[in-house]
Chain A
């Protein structure tokens, strides 16, 4: 007899297997590309609901907006469905709705429909939110034509969201101004989509972090990646918390970053566009596509050694988004 475990929701290897074997679907892009339309959906169950840098409302809007951007779409409309626990404080709900509204305005989308369900007290952790989104494809970005030498860009420091949440949840009480990076990336990514740089692929590295994002991209493909530890931007406080908890920043969720596979010839121009926005100030190329070790993400350490960065197997930090 097999059961669903928390690991099935980790965004790691077991999630991938669940999608393939039970849902009989392909785990491919962040949104479905339907002609000129991009369509996606995402549910959110973060604990705690309010955290430094945002709350579940902001997360629910930006998560879906960013998934639409990934396939080259301009995000336009969202739905929002709430599952609320009886006994949940009205003031908290109002606060969540307010931050959804603000984030929607910031990212240029309208929330056009919704649904509310209330379950008995104790049946869910306060509130869960599902959002679905529709965007207009500017140009489809579907992970085609990825080749040797293409650059891998990250748009900023990694692990901020995962470790900000853990820092609060585990009450590590470290004196730090670390906060979640949760943000919709319309202002950062739309100009890139609207330019003519050759974007091969985009994904926001949420659950499972950078390691999952890259592993999933080269899963059953004829290429792998070579990335360089020294190039990967990590905040000092994230490094410290990561060390204490024994979880590497590569596996921690991000909610306001993008990983972009870019044709080498356009890399510099793409970085210029990204860096002109506050959200992309520390954008940087962290490595390249390589056909030498297909399906493997090779991390070149700062000591000059090489190791494999695997797909995460078990969930080291559940319920973070």
Chain B
């Protein structure tokens, strides 16, 4: 399929005019639309989409960056293990600069810890084959990366010295809990294009039922995102919130059944700490008993820190992740906190809101 259609300036202009002239003008208040996918924020910034929306339509980045919600407690614990035992830690490049309480993986590496970047779990398994010591894959990400982790453990011949430390998280329940607790609020939700490919859309029905929020899935091209915004506004205007698929060329309502089966086979959902947001029930993917031989949390003497700091003094990443402030409202942003020397997790990954804004935000 030629994706250029979805970036056709004429189509994009028509969508933005329809949003302005037909839908937003009928709403006499500010509408807050949240997305929960770092790649959506990347598209919004890169295409300058906020600039194409009317004043009263605000698109806000929610908790959609997996490395940003990975707790310092887990980072500290695995770094401590890497510094004290003869093990190798592998993880995604995004994770390396994320600060824990005292150290990031990158800084621990410069102190002698054996920490290697990998592109995928498959890469991590391959690297293990040529290594003599225990290799622990620090497995981070939402459904999108949890599913490959699960399928690799089911399908592949895995060396005895390969282990997993799972910090995988399940998006829909996390966002639901945050809504329920009142920590986040919104008038409409753009569903994550990648994660919903796995989870499907049915899990979002209760967002509509319990909170009356329009939920629309979206792709990542300019027209995709604007289409989702338009569909949400139409639902608001007609007073009929529902789950709607704005990304039909990729997402099925049922999701990817095979991936879901793999996830259920390998993992169960336990409570997990989301960085700065606290503990949320049934949102952390932990390995099932049949797969416990891979579980680094069970096979190594992991020492969890008594005190860990999620956000350094002055860092407002917690509020950025919840969509309650924009990066510009944080005093550290772009001054003491930059991609070269990040203080908060949102300034690290290309999916982090602060990093996206820093690299190419709108005009300040």
Q: Which residues of A contact B (CB under 8 A)?
A: 3, 7, 13-14, 230, 243, 246, 248, 293, 296, 298-299, 301-310, 313-314
| Nearest chain B residue, comparing its CB with the CB of A7 | B340
B51 touches A306 (CB 8 A): yes
- Chain B residues lying within 8 Å of A313, measured Cβ to Cβ, are 338-340, 358-359
B339 touches A303 (CB 8 A): no
B363 touches A303 (CB 8 A): no
B9 touches A246 (CB 8 A): no
A1 to chain B, nearest CB (A): 8
A307 touches B361 (CB 8 A): yes
A305 touches B340 (CB 8 A): no
Task: Contacts A304-B9, A305-B49 given; indicate if A3 touches B362 (C-beta within 8 A).
Answer: no
Interface size in chain B (residues, C-beta < 8 A)? 28
Could you tell me the dominant secondary structure of chain A's interface residues? loop
Render B337-356 as a binary contact track against A, CB cut-off 8 A, 1 for contact. 01110000000001000000
Render B94-133 as a binary contact track against A, CB cut-off 8 A, 1 for contact. 0000000000000000100000000000000000000000
Sample 5 A-B pairs with CB under 8 A, ordered by A number: A243-B3, A304-B13, A306-B362, A307-B362, A310-B360
A175 to chain B, nearest CB (A): 17
List B residues 1-42 near A (Cβ within 8 Å): 3, 7, 9, 12-13, 16, 42
Task: Contacts A7-B340, A305-B49, A306-B48 given; indicate if A246 touches B350 (C-beta within 8 A).
Answer: yes
B362 touches A308 (CB 8 A): yes
The 4 closest A-B pairs by CB, nearest first: A305-B48, A305-B51, A307-B48, A313-B339
Q: Which residues of B contact A (CB under 8 A)?
A: 3, 7, 9, 12-13, 16, 42, 45-52, 110, 222, 338-340, 350, 358-364
A299-B48, A303-B49, A314-B340 are known contacts; what are 5 more A-B pairs with Cβ within 8 Å? Answer: A302-B7, A303-B9, A305-B47, A306-B51, A314-B339
B110 touches A303 (CB 8 A): no
B48 touches A301 (CB 8 A): yes
A231 to chain B, nearest CB (A): 13
Q: A303 contacts which of B42, B47, B340 (Cβ < 8 Å)? A: B47
A232 to chain B, nearest CB (A): 14
B147 to chain A, nearest CB (A): 21
A126 to chain B, nearest CB (A): 24
A298 touches B13 (CB 8 A): no
A215 to chain B, nearest CB (A): 12
Q: B363 contacts which of A7, A230, A248, A293 (Cβ < 8 Å)? A: A293
Q: Counting chain A CB atoms within 10 Å of each CB, which of B50, B340, B362 scores highest?
A: B340
B361 touches A308 (CB 8 A): yes
A201 to chain B, nearest CB (A): 24
Q: How far is the CA of A137 from the CA of B362 in the complex (A)?
A: 41
B47 to chain A, nearest CB (A): 6
| Nearest chain B residue, comparing its CB with the CB of A312 | B359
Q: B12 contacts which of A13, A293, A303, A308 (Cβ < 8 Å)? A: A303
Q: How far is the CA of A299 from the CA of B350 in the complex (A)?
A: 19
B7 to chain A, nearest CB (A): 8
Q: How far is the CA of A7 from the CA of B110 in the complex (A)?
A: 16
B363 touches A296 (CB 8 A): yes
| Nearest chain B residue, comparing its CB with the CB of A17 | B340
Task: Contacts A246-B350, A313-B338, A313-B339 given; indicate if A303 touches B52 (C-beta within 8 A).
Answer: yes
Q: A307 contacts which of B9, B338, B350, B360 (Cβ < 8 Å)? A: B360
